[in-house]
Structure 1
Amino acid sequence: MRRILSILFATCLAAPVLAAPCGNSGGGFEAWKTSFAREAQSAGVGQRGLQALANATYAQGTINADRNQKSFKYTFEKFMQIRGADTIVAQGRKRKARNPAFYASLEQHYGVPAGILIAIHGMETAFGGFMGDSSVVSAITTLAYDCRRTDFFVPHAIGALKLVDHGSITPATRGAKHGELGHTQFLPGNALAFGVDGNGDGVVDFYNETDALASTANFLRQKGWRPGVGYLEGQPNFQVIQQWNAAGVYQKAIANMASRIDG
């Protein structure tokens, strides 16, 4: 009997942590957090991250935004107009001219030209002018709980909690409605995987422009960016831009603006 009990106990210890059940309203969010905490701890999230999860609240604004992403359905011309492409290009050229050594150093290190980084920076946050007003942890955990795209957002929720553990963000950090953070709006899992300390101060801070742009360049390089090769639609590096954002109209807009900034 003792041998049977030992086998059963060992089997229980070895059993994988079951995924927390998703939901389509805020009613089950608190129960989900309790279940997800076990999953997060099994994935290596520490005490600070778990406490951030415990304090997270259901983000109805995030759900509303997730159900209403109209701009990605526009034509290319309409998308460029409503996103202020001409303004981004004009300001982007000035930014490149003001600090050419900085962008040259990023290109030398990662192979990604200034235009791409500047276009992403301008498109995502108007060059840091608005980086979001939603709780990153609450937004991303809400999306991980929501049944619509649970599998996609769970790794990013784990990433956000680990970023809290590492001190890269806090439970109070604000970002976009889908939990994107910093100057170029990294999803938390990508921030964790590709973030670099661009200014050498020992901290990876996505709300610091240097760190954010270096991290963006690192993401693109790690996703297959080939230095010196074209990035317009149909050229080799365009497929790397597709790794940054899944919307086709966004991808074309970034490539177009970047080519105009790079001249």
Structure 2
Amino acid sequence: MRLFRPLAAPIAALLLASPVAAASCGNTASGFNTWKAEFAQEAKRAGVGQRGLAALANTSYAKSTIAADRNQKSFKYSLDKFMKVRGTNTIIAQGRKRKAANANFYAALERSYGVPAGVLIAIHGMETGFGNFMGDSNVVSAIVTLTYDCRRSDFFRPHALGALKLVDRGSISPGTKGAKHGELGHTQFLPGNALKYGVDGNGDGRVDFYNQADALASTANYLRSKGWKPGQPYGPGTRNYTVLKEWNAATVYQQSLAIMGEQIDR
């Protein structure tokens, strides 16, 4: 005996073709908890597990992250001022010493990924002062808040999902600290990129972005995956220079990396 009738074909087709709406964004803290409940369903459909969903449920609206996102002045500086503010002369001097002290490590990375030491050291110095300050903001709350915020929801959504999956994997915890925009580890990976490009650089069987070897190997892997050409120059006008834009879209940042990298590698 037939217990139900199938949907009429046109109606069934419409239902199957209808996209699942993404959770609605907001510009104040007032709708954050309601949005989180909606986003949890989206995260579950994307494959986030119970640990990630629990981390999402425990996030707080990150006011300091929103303030930082509205006030990124340094990228509007001239190149000279940007380099002075970022302390590039110090990064170059320390970078040369770090390269000399760990020559085999950087040579191994270049053999594996084709990215020279100067570029990786410049990124490491620029992002966290060689690991001296990797941020004091909750990574998951920061990236989830930016996904909720209407300004750049679509950009941050895959990184929020990435952060929750990193929690599932045990690569980060719900309490992991990072930068104001949710960047994490020695070279400040956005979580979605960490999930996709992270590699085990020290051979201990896990990817830990707060371990220098893992972070630098992952950075080299990211650049190579974005089109870095081994053995080629990386100054303005080159193919490799355009790859630096994949790391940070600000022109002064790319210029600084190219200048510092070349001077460290001299």
TM-score (norm 1): 0.97
Indicate whether 1:202 and 2:202 are aligned. no
Consecutive unaligned residues of structure 2, counting only runs of 5 or more, are: none
Shift of 1:12: 5.3
What is the percentage of aligned positions where both structures have the same residue?
A: 68
Q: Aligned residue for 2:88?
A: 85
Count residues in correspondence: 263
Shift of 1:7: 8.8
Choose which of 41, 45, 65 in structure 2 pairs with 1:38. 41
Letter in 1 for 2:54: Q
Indicate whether 1:217 and 2:220 are aligned. yes
* Residues 1:50 and 1:6: Cα distance change in structure 2 (over 3 Å): farther
| Of 163-172 and 1-10, the range deviating more from structure 2 | 1-10
Indicate whether 1:176 and 2:176 are aligned. no
SS of residue matched to 1:102: helix
Q: 1:17, 1:38 within 8 Å by CA — same for their partners in 2?
A: no
TM-score (norm 2): 0.95
Letter in 1 for 2:161: I
Q: Aligned residue for 1:127?
A: 130
Shift of 1:236: 1.7
Shift of 1:14: 6.9
Please list, as runs of the form range in 1=range in 2, the aligned pairs for 1:209-248 lying within 5 A after superposition: 209-248=212-251
Choose which of 98, 105, 110 in structure 2 pairs with 1:95. 98
Choose which of 12, 19, 23 in structure 1 pairs with 2:22. 19
Indicate whether 1:52 and 2:55 are aligned. yes
* Residues 1:163 and 1:251: Cα distance change in structure 2 (over 3 Å): same
Shift of 1:17: 2.6
Letter in 2 for 1:259: E
Indicate whether 1:108 and 2:111 are aligned. yes
Shift of 1:3: 2.4
Letter in 1 for 2:167: V
Task: Give the Cα separation in 1 of the matches to 2:120 and 2:13.
Answer: 51
Q: Deviation per CA, 1:184-213: give whole Å up to 9, x if none.
A: 000000000000001111110000000000
Indicate whether 1:166 and 2:169 are aligned. yes
Task: Give the Cα separation in 2 of the matches to 1:3 and 1:80.
Answer: 67
Task: Give the Cα separation in 2 of the matches to 1:197 and 1:38.
Answer: 31
Consecutive unaligned residues of structure 1, counting only runs of 5 or more, are: none
Letter in 2 for 1:54: A
RMSD over equivalenced CA pairs, Å:
1.6
Q: 1:125, 1:184 within 8 Å by CA — same for their partners in 2?
A: yes
Q: Deviation per CA, 1:47-83: give whole Å up to 9, x if none.
A: 1101100000000000000000000000000000010
Indicate whether 1:2 and 2:5 are aligned. yes
Q: Aligned residue for 1:147?
A: 150
Shift of 1:235: 1.5
SS of residue matched to 1:184: coil
Task: Give the Cα separation in 1 of the matches to 2:36 and 2:11.
Answer: 28
Choose which of 256, 261, 265 in structure 2 pairs with 1:262. 265
* Residues 1:65 and 1:200: Cα distance change in structure 2 (over 3 Å): same
SS of residue matched to 2:210: coil
